[in-house]
Amino acid sequence: MSLHSSHPAVVRRNTPPPLIRAFRGERPEVTPVWFMRQAGRSLPEYRELRVGTDMLDACLTPELASEITLQPVRRHGVDAGIFFSDIVIPVRLAGVGVQIVPGRGPVLEHAVRSAADVANLPPLDPAALDPIREAVALTVAQLGDTPLIGFAGAPYTLASYLVEGGPSKEQLITRSMMHSDPDSWAALLTWCAEITGAFLAAQIEAGASAGQLFDSWAGSLSVADYTERVAPYSSLALEPVRALDVPLVHFGVGTGPLLPAMHAVGVDVMGVDWRVPLDDASRRLGGEVPLQGNIDPALLTAPWSVLEPHVRDVLDRGRAAPAHVVNLGHGVPPDTDPTVLTRIVEFVHSYE
Amino acid sequence: MSLHSSHPAVVRRNTPPPLIRAFRGERPEVTPVWFMRQAGRSLPEYRELRVGTDMLDACLTPELASEITLQPVRRHGVDAGIFFSDIVIPVRLAGVGVQIVPGRGPVLEHAVRSAADVANLPPLDPAALDPIREAVALTVAQLGDTPLIGFAGAPYTLASYLVEGGPSKEQLITRSMMHSDPDSWAALLTWCAEITGAFLAAQIEAGASAGQLFDSWAGSLSVADYTERVAPYSSLALEPVRALDVPLVHFGVGTGPLLPAMHAVGVDVMGVDWRVPLDDASRRLGGEVPLQGNIDPALLTAPWSVLEPHVRDVLDRGRAAPAHVVNLGHGVPPDTDPTVLTRIVEFVHSYE
């Protein structure tokens, strides 16, 4: 299948692709669909390509990152590529020791907990982002009319890996630092905002048509902590991309109560996890925000007779929002049968 | 320090202890306080006692379980003991292979996923609960006027361990089964409700003055899934204890959106995690439900100058509810300095 056979509409020049139109609040002919973590372990062609290559090395090898980004677009006919990377890539590019431990996640050489630790964080040399720019340019050249979404972690989630030293259940040390040492917290979150903002801006400048900020762990925060101690830095991270005039999406898990506050950092589209029905999410956002989501990843292993009505329900509730891009309510689980994802794309594209 | 020196009020006969009065919706002279996981790894006397004894074996040795339950009451002067046990104890007592793997949690010998797996789950012989009854009786005898809270896991959380085979981040396999195989789901949740209900009833019949149902993972569910596919079994689990006329508390993590549905299963008190301010939680519950919570466990490592205003804020917001029992918003983290907990108890008891 060619990359765009399913979207004759987008071949017309000057009309933005369906994804971008939906992100802008329009209702294109078909509802666009893509999947968080569509590029990755659920695809045999990805697992084959990754053999013998470390995760962060793969992200920093332009040909590899580009090919991995393209794989799910080719296979599923989704309406967007999402740049294959990792939220700690800008941390690594700034020269901080971090690796991805398989089955565990990002692990730091040294946790960042004291004022001195924070002061020692090195600046990110803009030239260090060259492999990212190169990978994006390679990808965009091959995607044709299919848009590429740029990818970055939000400062809080990034900071939580730095402070905890790795993945954690409830970000206890991070949240303690947030209250106990507000000066170090401000300095750390500012550093995170600067590097992750530069990372996202580099992708957009190199040709990405949209950007998504992932604040995966924001759901561990009260609305007050999020609003007062986190949101300003997410807003700061988006500063360098705002001038680039591409639609921005914001997503976190377990963030139902945070949806309005996460929207207020200055994004166009809110991603919604599987817990909150889209009509409910739209109500919480005043009925004025395009939504992305929110098929329950747990149902990807259910029979089609169970999954189909669920996808239909997601589409129907999505009509409550001004515009809707179908996605999962979280990333594709690694053991997902990829043919199920392809079937969802076909179903969504044929749904009226 | 004797067990009750700090509560002269409760020595008067016929007046229930402050905890029970608060659970019943009254405002006793001092605000009662206890901590989830107060019995356990934060205490050096616990770690000493546990050396060489497996977790579930400790739970099933009456003298040990009783002594561990008493340790934090003696040390901190809290207003309640919480029975030291584990939510998988009734699973083990029914004869299902399960152990607690240190640093990981409950791990099943065989995951329960098919209709046949569920059909093979053995009934729980009431006599198997004798070590629990004995431990509770021993404990209550030593607690005097300090009430003991019985402890049990809710059917959904229990089932998630059985289905996943161990701890999991988002209960994907469990939630898939819930939708894909509703008959097995109903049978499994009914089994879980029966064994966990019998476990809690045994504790109350043996002398516990209240009961708390822990639905730790309910926060991974949408309100619809919780209400339709989980709540009826939590209600069923409480069936045998309802007749015993003790106050019942219900708690889960990340369950802000579920508070009304969790209250509706038929409990007296709602436990609230650290994410939702108590005045907000009380509003969601119509202003009529006694609340328990919700000091942020992350702040237990903060300086007292940061922790104290937080505890004060929790107490002040708790006034929005008809009654308030102070607790953490989740369990005591294992590395907590126990002197901080004692200081919180003293502060809460002296707060006016």
For B213-233, the pLDDT digits (tens) are 999 999 999 999 999 999 999
Rg (CA), chain B: 19
Peptide bond into A294 cis (omega under 30): yes
The helix (H) or strand (E) run that includes residue A269 is strand A269-271
Closest-CA residue of chain A to B298:
A172
Question: DSSP H helical segments within B27-154, as ranges?
Answer: 44-50, 55-59, 62-76, 89-93, 115-119, 130-143
Closest-CA residue of chain A to B177:
A302
- B275 burial via Cβ count (<10 Å: 0-12, 13-18, 19+): buried
Q: Could you say which of A21, A92, A156, A161 is catalytic?
A: A161
For A317-352, the pLDDT digits (tens) are 999 999 999 999 999 999 999 999 999 999 999 998
Identify whether A175 is a catalytic site residue: no
Q: Is the dihedral of CA B202, B250, A174, B164 positive or negative?
A: positive
Q: Is residue A42 a known part of a binding site?
A: no
Length of chain B: 352
Neighbours of B182 (CB within 10 A): 12
Q: Which residue has the tokens 């789901």?
A: B185
Q: So what's the pLDDT on residue B151?
A: 97
Question: Which tokens in the block code for residue B91?
Answer: 């699973």
CB-CB contact of A293 with A257 (8 Å): no
Nearest Cα neighbor of A82 from A191, A256, A261, A212 is A212
Looking at this predicted complex, what is its ipTM?
Answer: 0.93
Q: Is the dihedral of CA B329, B330, B336, B340 positive or negative?
A: positive
3-state helix, strand, coil in chain B (%, to 5): 50, 10, 40
Q: Please state, for a pLDDT cut of 70, what percent of chain A lies above it.
A: 96
Q: Is residue A216 a known part of a binding site?
A: yes
> What's the whole-model pTM score?
0.94
Peptide bond into B327 cis (omega under 30): no
Task: For chain B, 352 residues long, give each residue's pLDDT as a single digit of tens.
Answer: 345 444 444 444 579 999 999 999 999 999 999 999 999 999 999 999 999 999 999 999 999 999 999 999 999 999 999 999 999 999 999 999 999 999 899 999 999 999 999 999 999 999 999 999 999 999 999 999 999 999 999 999 999 999 999 999 999 999 999 999 999 999 999 999 999 999 999 999 999 999 999 999 999 999 999 999 999 999 999 999 999 999 999 999 999 999 999 999 999 999 999 999 999 999 999 999 999 999 999 999 999 999 999 999 999 999 999 999 999 999 999 999 999 999 999 999 999 8
Q: At B82, give phi and psi (nearest 5°).
A: -115, 125
- B165 burial via Cβ count (<10 Å: 0-12, 13-18, 19+): middle
**Chain B interface, Cβ < 8 Å to A:** 170-176, 178-180, 219-222, 224, 254, 256-257, 274-277, 296-303, 306, 310, 330, 333
Q: So what's the pLDDT on residue A103?
A: 86
Q: Is the dihedral of CA B28, B31, B36, B37 positive or negative?
A: negative
**Fold for the domain defined by B8-271:** TIM Barrel (3.20.20)
Identify whether A161 is a catalytic site residue: yes
Angstrom distance (rounded) from CA A84 to CA A102? 17
Which of A216, A296, A310, A337 would best serve as a mutation to test chain B binding (most B beta carbons within 10 A)?
A: A296
Q: So what's the pLDDT on residue A14?
A: 76
Closest-CA residue of chain B to A225:
B275
For A22-74, the pLDDT digits (tens) are 999 999 999 999 999 999 999 999 999 999 999 999 999 999 999 999 999 99
Angstrom distance (rounded) from CA B254 to CA B273? 7
Decide the pairing of beta strands A324-328 and B98-101: unpaired
Q: So what's the pLDDT on residue A2?
A: 42
Q: So what's the pLDDT on residue B82?
A: 98
In angstroms, the separation between the Cα of residue B92 and the nearest Cα of chain A is 26
Decide the pairing of beta strands A248-251 and A269-271: parallel
Question: A98 by DSSP, 3-state: which?
Answer: strand
A179 vs B299: CB contact, 8 Å cut-off? Answer: yes
Q: Could you say which of A37, A113, A175, A229 is catalytic?
A: A37
Annotated binding site of B for substrate: 37-41, 86, 161, 216, 330
CB-CB contact of A6 with A349 (8 Å): yes
Q: Could you say which of A24, A27, A50, A319 is catalytic?
A: A50
Cα A277 vs. chain centroid, distance in angstroms? 20
Q: So what's the pLDDT on residue A3?
A: 52
Name every chain B residue with its beta carbon within 8 A of the beta carbon of A299.
Answer: 175-176, 179-180
Residues ≥6 apart with Cβ < 8 Å to A8: none
Question: Which tokens in the block code for residue A57?
Answer: 């090395």
Task: For chain A, 352 residues long, give each residue's pLDDT as a single digit of tens.
Answer: 345 444 444 444 579 999 999 999 999 999 999 999 999 999 999 999 999 999 999 999 999 999 999 999 999 999 999 999 999 999 999 999 999 999 899 999 999 999 999 999 999 999 999 999 999 999 999 999 999 999 999 999 999 999 999 999 999 999 999 999 999 999 999 999 999 999 999 999 999 999 999 999 999 999 999 999 999 999 999 999 999 999 999 999 999 999 999 999 999 999 999 999 999 999 999 999 999 999 999 999 999 999 999 999 999 999 999 999 999 999 999 999 999 999 999 999 999 8
Q: So what's the pLDDT on residue B56?
A: 96
Q: So what's the pLDDT on residue A97?
A: 98
A176 vs B301: CB contact, 8 Å cut-off? Answer: yes
Name every chain B residue with its beta carbon within 8 A of the beta carbon of A224.
Answer: 277
Angstrom distance (rounded) from CA A315 to CA A305? 16
**B302 → closest Cβ in A176, A276, A306:** A176
Query: Which residues make beta-bridge pairs with A70?
Result: none
